[in-house]
Structure 1
Amino acid sequence: MLKYLRILFYFSLIATPLLAQAVTKVAGIDVSGSCSLDGQSMKLNGAGIRSKYFIKIYVGVLCLEHPAHDPATILAASGAKRMQMNMLYKEVDAEKITEGWTEGFRTNLDKATFSRLEPRLKQFNTLFPALHKGDVVNMDYLPGRGTGLVINGKSLGVIEGEDFFNALLQVWIGRHPADKSLKKGLLGK
Structure 2
Amino acid sequence: MNKLLAFLTATFISIHTHALILNDVEVPETITALNNNTQLALKGAAIRRAYGIVKSYVGQLYVSDTSLNAEELLASNNARRMVYHVTSNRVSYRRFISSINNGLPLNLTDEEIAAIRPRLESMKSFLDVDFGEGTIVYIEWDPNDGLNHVMVNNELRGSVPGRDLNDAILKLWIGKNPVGRDFKQEILGLSTPQD
Q: Does 1:184 align with 2:185?
A: yes
TM-score normalised to structure 2 length: 0.82
Describe the shift of the 1:181–1:19 C-alpha distance in structure 2 as closer, same or farther (beyond 3 A): farther
Larger deviation, residues 107-116 vs 29-38: 29-38
Contact 1:170–1:177 at 8 Å: present in 2 too?
A: yes
Could you tell me how far 1:145 is from its partner in structure 2?
A: 3.5
Deviation digits for residues 111-148 of structure 1 (CA, Å, limit 9, x no counterpart): 11111111111111111123110111111000123111
Considering fraction of residues, name the structure with more helix.
1
SS at match of 2:71: helix
**What is the aligned-residue RMSD (CA, Å)?**
2.2
| TM alignment of 1:150-161, pairs within 5 A | 150-161=151-162
Given candidates 46, 49, 63, the residue that maps to 2:47 is: 49
Which residue of the partner structure matches residue 93 of structure 1? 92
User: After TM superposition, what 4+ stretches of structure 1 lie above 3 angstroms from structure 2?
Assistant: 16-23
Distance 2:79 2:49 in 1: 27
Distance 2:146 2:111 in 1: 24
Unaligned runs of 5+ in 2: 1-11, 191-195
Deviation digits for residues 2-58 of structure 1 (CA, Å, limit 9, x no counterpart): xxxxxxxxxxxxxx9998678611112111156221321111100010001211000
Distance 1:160 1:84 in 2: 19
The code of the aligned residue for 1:157 comes to G
Deviation digits for residues 54-94 of structure 1 (CA, Å, limit 9, x no counterpart): 11000000000001352101111222100001110014221
Unaligned runs of 5+ in 1: 1-15
The code of the aligned residue for 1:114 comes to I
How many residues align structurally? 175
TM-score normalised to structure 1 length: 0.84
Given candidates 29, 36, 60, the residue that maps to 2:32 is: 36
